[in-house]
Structure 1
Amino acid sequence: MTNTVDLQALAAQVAGKLTGPGGPFEMTIEPVLGAALPVFKHRHGSLLELLEASRELGDLDYLVSARTRYTFDEHYAAAGALAAALAERYGVGKGDRVGILAANAPEWVLTFWAAQRLGAIPVGYNAWWVPREIAYGLEHAAPKVVIADAKRAALAAETGTDIPVLTMETDLPALIAEFAGGNPGAEVTEDDPAVILYTSGTTGRPKGVVHTQRNMVAVADYHRFMDALATGFRGQAWNGSPAGRRYLATMPLFHIASLHNLSIPRLTTGDAVVFPTSGEFDAASLLKLVETEKVTNWAAVPTLASRILGVDISQYDLSSLTAFSLNSAPSSPALVQRLRERFPVALQGLTTSYGCTESGTAATVATPPELAADNETVGRAVVGVSVEVRDPDGKPVPDGEEGEICIRSPYVMLGYWNNEEATKAAIDENRWLRTGDYGTLRQGKLYISGRRSDLILRGGENVYPQEIENVLDEHPLVRESAVIGVPHEDLGQEVAAIVVVDDPESLSQDELRDHVAQQLAYFKVPARWLVTADPLPRNATGKVLRRDLTLGK
């Protein structure tokens, strides 16, 4: 216990020097969208400024895959050329949306930065969406152009959209070559929209989370601050020079974990982002990639971490790997312990965190020493973040009492795209974000006690029942339905459906499964079913009592 307190005190001392007057990450209070928030005093004003600064990194690797590799110089030139092509050929300008519909690839990140040159807003669509979901996303964000990989371009074509769809494999290389030397720029303000990412909503319709230039630059500075903190913790001076790290990107770029907190900050730290070949997301292939590309840092969802333990790790040279973190979904204490026992880097480098798409980055982080001492916590608030646990009336509860987790910081989203009502429900007049998640604070450490009441977390993906129920209820034989999450050893939770029909013999599980699969992404298709004639349990107001729902024996 004494050692933990000493380490905590040392970390506070180092952080104080970094964020205090005259420090490289000096904090100050400034008005942000009507609220006084702590911000980094010495900061860039836009993502484009970060891109311009990246030229100094020259021939260091930035984006790496088996198909394409970009140094920082090459990326800068390619982003300029693509931006010129989007502006001159497709009329993309400030405030216009540029859709990105693809699996992870260097071209995904390149498109993001090309859009920033124009003051345009990249829209990261979920790569697992089927045509029905893609059609909604295209209508909702109304992009001027969509850049997709070949597989998703074909799906987009099935929607019948008249929006131009460019392929990463063919169209992008041709445009970059044709418009080589292009280098447009646009003026933006800190609170202009910088990106839209989709998250599921309790209404069953995905919501577009809007993050600003300020949000994105602040997240990048947060990662630089964490580098400086780690350096100071070792008693060394931090000068911001590249450390030669190589980050493995195994989470989708349409999530903040891989875009905001991995790919974008690496442009400021001079590190490489390594992308697995599309489809090679089994544990053995990833471990081999760590070996061949000398990966140093890896953030994974708990599901993937669990699968790593099913492989003979001793067959791979993982000596380059120095940091491993668990993100995007709660990890059980049992998994954390198994990782420490069998995955060498987890002995020293294992961290976990808590956050959501709306929060922009992790709101709390548990450092390796904290996690070693207490594997149930998700850590303490990160620099610039305030965390409160509140009662139903919005008042902070005493230490150790359960309530709703609320967050305020310069990283928190601007709001939901074209959804003022949802924005007002999520963010109050003082810029506090109501997460809808529940937990407790104990001596500054956060503990998660429950997720949003209806949310299903399947292998790191958020699944809301309403969306699936809407599709099930479209079937002519279905009277009503309810979707719930049930425990699953590998995925954390899997999707289950209770379907009420007049005659259970008239409708098979296979028919229902096919009905959903034609309209929703695979991870939303229920894996377990109960087809019954018994009505769903409801309360006096007619609301389904989800806690009373079971699949039976």
Structure 2
Amino acid sequence: MTDAPVWPVMTVAEAHAQLTAPGQRFEMEEKVIRGVLTRTWKNAPPTLRDVLLSGRTFGEREFLINENERVTYEAYARATLTLAHRLAADGVKKGDRVAVIMRNLPEWPVTFWAGILLGAIVTPLNAWWTGAELEYGLADSGTKVAFVDDERLERLADHLKNLPDLERVYVSRLSEARGDGRVSRLEDVIGKPNAWKALADLPMPDVAIDPEDDATILYTSGTTGKPKGALGTHRNMTSNIMASGIAAARNFLRAGQPLPESDPHKLPQRCTLLVVPMFHATGLSANLSPSMNAGGKIVMMRRWEPEAAMRLIEAEKVGSTGGVPTIAWQLIEHPAREKYDLSSLTAVSYGGAPSAPELVRKIVEVFPASQPGNGWGMTETTATFTSHLGKDYSVRPESAGPAAPVGEMQIRDAADGVTILPEGAVGELWVKGPQVVKLYWNKPEATAETFVDGWLRTGDLARIDEEGFLFIIDRAKDMLIRGGENIYCVEVENVLYDHPDVMDAALVGVPHKTLGEEPAAIVHLKPGGTATQADLRAWVRERLAGFKVPVKVVFWPETLPRNANGKILKTELKKVFEE
């Protein structure tokens, strides 16, 4: 009888030291970034332009799959270059803002990278936002050219008159003309996806782009009720490409296994079913960019539907999917699962929402060939900051994993924001690294509060164990996460307060098995107020994105309970929904 293999054969620190040694793929170097000495990846693509160039080396490999549309890397590159030249003719210059507002379509990465190639700051806006929310994002960012799909144009049509700085709007899949003279069809420039391969091979725009140049503005909901634009650099974006790779390599070393081949040209193509939006840091930075850099295939869905997803996994031999715990649960529990060959799945990963330790056990049980994975990150960390995979995740299912070695984490006293607490103590998580964004666009006060000497104050309460594994305990900010979407309570509460019948309002999170949590409201009406639950839900739905609408509204007979400082006692109010 042989002894069971010892695991782990080395610590996380030992694995990282081996992987980042001089001459290795994940070698690090220190750079002074905005006056702060920062660890960086020596071999990361310098800019997002280099990511596109890397993808193009895969030529006739398929890159983007959307229903009956199949786009190769070469076809994608030609469409992107064609559009970049049109933007240059439109007067787009380095530093101008170019917005992308559409659902996941092959046109999404084309429009994004067309702006990137000109040195523009590309601003993906949340495609679930209302017209008023989209108007705010376009006005706040000072967008010059926007790319939208037909559905988003319908929401924006009545708001265009309020956006004088918006010079052009290109619309993908426009069924009928709407808007004003600034609106034109994207297909008139690049044609339809299956025809992109016939476009001319145009030269790369002659624009100098540096790793520290501004690249993106990604909006995150704000505690003041208005979203904040996180301004990210090219280095922020490309750092994530290495973070996902080193997490997988670390797992091999800790298991005592040799590192696999790392040259994607010598490996079978990796296929990802991308069901999280590209406008999120997770979809863009943790999925799309690494896939493009390594010649992977991205399969898209119009909307998430578990059985349709299983058909795609079988047909396209999908290797990885996920994004939020909802997706994993629905694949596991679907009654039709046994009808499909899902053996190609080797990774089911998620983050962005609380997940039960039971989920990792279920993934291992139902998909034995698949590695479960989760992690922690924020829009402000350009997605992934910690990664947790395979055996490490099974052993510590409540953890979000260790940071990539370029990242640093500290637990500080939440009150003073300065005192560093000892190992295992709970406090506020502060992080530093090349993936932390530069600032909040047009928000100097919020920037000063959040970004301090290269460190990001996350607002999450956490602890770090003796081996560097992160455990998120709670959120210091008044926020909940529904299926990966941040909902800042004050934003919804402000809308409720605007209703003429509402005297007092509070939003709390109620547990949900697959979404993590959902928003619910407790409301006290003014004397004579007659608003119903349906009235208040409709009121919020007219003003905010659908995912922010309370699933329940409970009416409180008196002013909501508060502490001595006047703060609403939400822990008490949550008990209303525990019955």
Residues 44 and 241 of structure 2 are in contact (CA less than 8 Å); yes or no, is this contact kept in structure 1?
A: no
CA distance in 2, matches of 1:479, 1:55: 58
1:356 equivalent in alignment to 2:357: no
TM, length-normalised to structure 2: 0.89
Q: How do 1:352-431 residues align onto structure 2 when only pairs under 5 Å count?
A: 352-392=374-414, 393=416, 394-429=418-453, 431=454
1:483-519 per-position Cα deviation (integer Å, ceiling 9, x unaligned): 1111223322111111221347622111111111111
1:116-142 per-position Cα deviation (integer Å, ceiling 9, x unaligned): 111011111111111121111111112
Q: Which moved more, 1:163-172 or 1:254-263?
A: 163-172
CA distance in 1, matches of 2:556, 2:8: 59
Shift of 1:14: 5.3
Instruction: Flag structure 1 segments of 5+ consecutive residues without an equivalent.
Output: none
Structure 1 residues 286 and 7: alpha-carbon distance in aligned structure 2, compared to 1, 3 A threshold: farther
Q: What is the alpha-carbon root mean square deviation over aligned residues?
A: 2.3
1:293 equivalent in alignment to 2:316: yes
Structure 1 residues 493 and 229: alpha-carbon distance in aligned structure 2, compared to 1, 3 A threshold: closer
One-letter identity of the residue aligned with 2:145: V
One-letter identity of the residue aligned with 2:126: N
Structure 1 residues 446 and 236: alpha-carbon distance in aligned structure 2, compared to 1, 3 A threshold: closer
Q: How do 1:154-553 residues align onto structure 2 when only pairs under 5 Å count?
A: 154-161=154-161, 162=163, 163=166, 164-170=168-174, 171-177=185-191, 180-183=200-203, 184-226=205-247, 234-236=257-259, 238-242=261-265, 243=267, 244-276=269-301, 278-279=302-303, 281-312=304-335, 313-346=337-370, 349-392=371-414, 393=416, 394-429=418-453, 431-443=454-466, 444-503=468-527, 506-550=530-574, 552=576
Shift of 1:172: 2.2
Q: Which moved more, 1:166-175 or 1:455-464?
A: 166-175
CA distance in 2, matches of 1:283, 1:520: 27
TM, length-normalised to structure 1: 0.93
Shift of 1:30: 1.7
Residues 30 and 38 of structure 2 are in contact (CA less than 8 Å); yes or no, is this contact kept in structure 1?
A: yes
Residues 303 and 460 of structure 1 are in contact (CA less than 8 Å); yes or no, is this contact kept in structure 2?
A: no
1:49-97 per-position Cα deviation (integer Å, ceiling 9, x unaligned): 3323333211111222114322111111111001111221x32111111
Structure 1 residues 3 and 423: alpha-carbon distance in aligned structure 2, compared to 1, 3 A threshold: farther
Shift of 1:231: 7.0
Residues 282 and 323 of structure 2 are in contact (CA less than 8 Å); yes or no, is this contact kept in structure 1?
A: no
Residues 223 and 477 of structure 2 are in contact (CA less than 8 Å); yes or no, is this contact kept in structure 1?
A: no
Residues 363 and 387 of structure 1 are in contact (CA less than 8 Å); yes or no, is this contact kept in structure 2?
A: no
Residues matched between the structures, number: 546
One-letter identity of the residue aligned with 1:267: M
Identity %: 35
One-letter identity of the residue aligned with 2:140: H
Shift of 1:324: 1.3
CA distance in 2, matches of 1:366, 1:198: 26
Residues 561 and 569 of structure 2 are in contact (CA less than 8 Å); yes or no, is this contact kept in structure 1?
A: yes
One-letter identity of the residue aligned with 2:29: T
Q: Which runs of 4+ in 1 moved over 6 A?
A: 230-233
- Structure 2 partner of 1:21: 22
Structure 1 residues 352 and 7: alpha-carbon distance in aligned structure 2, compared to 1, 3 A threshold: farther
CA distance in 1, matches of 2:234, 2:53: 15
CA distance in 1, matches of 2:575, 2:502: 17
Shift of 1:229: 5.3
Give the secondary structure class of the aligned counterpart of 1:57: coil
Structure 1 residues 156 and 496: alpha-carbon distance in aligned structure 2, compared to 1, 3 A threshold: same
CA distance in 1, matches of 2:427, 2:6: 27
